[in-house]
Structures are given as structure tokens and as C-alpha cells.
């Protein structure tokens, strides 16, 4: 396997940092959602460089990749936990009404409709 380039290292480390941070949020080891600047700081790069690098390698911005990961976690929590939608929003540091708007914008349905459909699929 050839050595990774610096942009590949930035991408891989960024994705690992997102996963770790979201795991910390879900498990109450963190209380605030990081911003792109927080990730860039940990990677020792400028936020614009981070986004440009990710866009070149993946076709998605840093924010776009982050949103996808947050949505994946939200969907898992809605489908597999007994937390209320309100509490899922709070765990992910959203104001509950904003969470519903955000979720619907990315998923096309409300968190409640998603949870209902996930429960139907489980039965």
C-alpha cells in the first residue's frame, strides 16, 4: 500500500475526529458540538484549507461531510434508542425545534416520521 499523501491524511484524520467527537457527544463525554474551525485547529490547518482539501478529494466540503455524519448518528439514535426526539436533539446540541427543521432539510421527513418508519421496518 503506497503511503498516504498529506491531503489523504487530512481527510482520514478529519473523518476520525468527527467520529470520535460524535461518539463523545452521544456518550455524554462532550457537551458542545464542534465547529469546522475546531477540527481545523486540531489538524493544524486553516479552515479554508481543510474545506478545499476535502472538496478536492471527496467532492464534499468539510461542513457537508460533518452534516452527513451528524445525520447518520441522529438516524441511529431515532431508530434504536428510547430517547425522545427532544432528547436526541439535546444530545446532538440542537435546539429541539431547530433539530426538526434541520433533520427534515437533510432527510426529507421529520424525525417523528423517520422514527415511525424505522419502527415499522423493525416489526
CATH number, domain with residue 49 = 1.10.10.60
Q: What are the backbone angles phi and psi of residue 62, rounded to the nearest 5°?
A: -60, -45
Q: What's the rounded mean pLDDT across residues 55-67?
A: 97
- Is 59 within a domain? yes
CA 42, 98, 58, 22: dihedral to nearest 10 degrees? 40
Residues 61, 51 contacting (CB under 8 angstroms): yes
5, pLDDT greater than 80? yes
Q: Would you state the cell numbers that stand for residue 27, as one nine-digit string?
A: 456518550
123, pLDDT greater than 70? no
Q: Which residues of 2-16 are buried (b: 16+ CB within 10 A; e: fewer)?
A: eeeeeeeebbeebbe
pLDDT of residue 47: 97
Domain that holds residue 12: 6-122
DSSP string computed for 51-76 = HHHHHHHHSS-HHHHHHHHHHHHHHH
Q: How many domains does the chain have?
A: 1
- Is 1 within a domain? no
Q: What's the rounded mean pLDDT across residues 80-107?
A: 96
32 SS3 class: coil
- Is 104 within a domain? yes
Amino acid at each position: 500500500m503506497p503511503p498516504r499523501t498529506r491531503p489523504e491524511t487530512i481527510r482520514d484524520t478529519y473523518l476520525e475526529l468527527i467520529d470520535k467527537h460524535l461518539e463523545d457527544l452521544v456518550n455524554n463525554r462532550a457537551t458542545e458540538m464542534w465547529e469546522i474551525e475546531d477540527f481545523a485547529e486540531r489538524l493544524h490547518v486553516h479552515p479554508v484549507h481543510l474545506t478545499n482539501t476535502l472538496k478536492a478529494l471527496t467532492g464534499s466540503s468539510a461542513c457537508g461531510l460533518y452534516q452527513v455524519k451528524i445525520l447518520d448518528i441522529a438516524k441511529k439514535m431515532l431508530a434504536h434508542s428510547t430517547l425522545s426526539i427532544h432528547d436526541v436533539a439535546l444530545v446532538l446540541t440542537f435546539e429541539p425545534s431547530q433539530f426538526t427543521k434541520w433533520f427534515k432539510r437533510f432527510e426529507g421527513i421529520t424525525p417523528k416520521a423517520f422514527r415511525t418508519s424505522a419502527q415499522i421496518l423493525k416489526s
